[in-house]
Chains A and B, each alone.
Chain A
Amino acid sequence: DAMVIQNPRYQVTQFGKPVTLSCSQTLNHNVMYWYQQKSSQAPKLLFHYYDKDFNNEADTPDNFQSRRPNTSFCFLDIRSPGLGDAAMYLCATSSGTYEQYFGPGTRLTVT
């Protein structure tokens, strides 16, 4: 089945220790997104790639970076995680239409 895969599902990191979250897709979609969702809040878009073109949201902190080495993979790097970065991180893909397909998410805990 074509899908969006996120690894790991649960990630624990220490305050200030860099962490990388991974997303892969078998849908061959050209757009990939990263969302942050804190408890009981709306998922918030951090950035997205349209092919290799990176699009950062204006209010995404510099602490958050992303890489997309190829069509299938996209990474979210948090350079110096703070306690406020604990959240669910959702990866999504689309073929350029309005419909997006989501992975199961990675729950990040910062200790």
Chain B
Amino acid sequence: DQQVKQNSPSLSVQEGRISILNCDYTNSMFDYFLWYKKYPAEGPTFLISISSIKDKNEDGRFTVFLNKSAKHLSLHIVPSQPGDSAVYFCAATPQGAQKLVFGQGTRLTINP
């Protein structure tokens, strides 16, 4: 049973517009939620995180929103830039556990 799900395998957005990546989870016992970005031939790199007690965290062009009642989080990128084209993974840390549970990833393509 997959606890973290990204239901959109791909997303295409025009440069300068907003990109919204979505993630759903089934387990309420997660402490933190994270977004990782992955370029081809590289490992995932940490992008932004949010504690389960918050509902929003912002870092420059990146904002993560957490809706605990819907068990849903989203990553907003605005404005989108060509360098944002990558695979984005949503991940979560179970309470008291030293590990990450990942979603399947969403491939974001920013079109000029």
Contacts of A92 in B (CB 8 A): 43
- Contact partner of B43 (CB less than 8 A), chosen from A31, A44, A94, A105, is A105
Describe A's contact surface by its main secondary structure: strand
Report yes or no: A42 in contact with B89, Cβ–Cβ below 8 A.
yes
Contact A45-B43, Cβ < 8 Å, known A98-B49, A99-B49: no
How many residues of chain B have a CB within 8 Å of chain A?
A: 24
Contacts of B105 in A (CB 8 A): 40, 42
Contact bitstring B1-19, A, C-beta under 8 A = 1, else 0:
0101000010000000000
Report yes or no: B43 in contact with A4, Cβ–Cβ below 8 A.
yes
Q: Does B63 contact A (CB under 8 A)?
A: no
Q: Does A90 contact B (CB under 8 A)?
A: yes
Report yes or no: A42 in contact with B99, Cβ–Cβ below 8 A.
no
How many residues of chain A have a CB within 8 Å of chain B?
A: 27
CA distance A42 to B10 in the complex (A): 14
Q: How far is the CB of B93 from the nearest CB of chain A, in Å?
A: 5
Which residue of A is nearest B5, CB measured? A42
Report yes or no: A45 in contact with B99, Cβ–Cβ below 8 A.
yes
Which residues from 80 to 96 on chain A have a C-beta closer than 8 Å to any C-beta of chain B? 90, 92, 94, 96
- Contact partner of B4 (CB less than 8 A), chosen from A31, A42, A90, A96, is A42
Report yes or no: B41 in contact with A104, Cβ–Cβ below 8 A.
yes
> 6 A-B residue contacts at CB 8 Å?
A6-B43, A94-B98, A96-B98, A99-B49, A101-B46, A105-B43
Interface residues of B (CB under 8 A from A): 2, 4, 9, 31-32, 34, 36, 41-46, 49, 89, 93, 98-105
Given contacts A43-B89, A50-B98, 6 further A-B contacts (CB under 8 A): A40-B105, A90-B43, A98-B32, A98-B34, A99-B34, A104-B43
| Interchain residue pairs A-B with the least CB separation, the first 4 | A102-B43, A42-B102, A98-B32, A98-B93
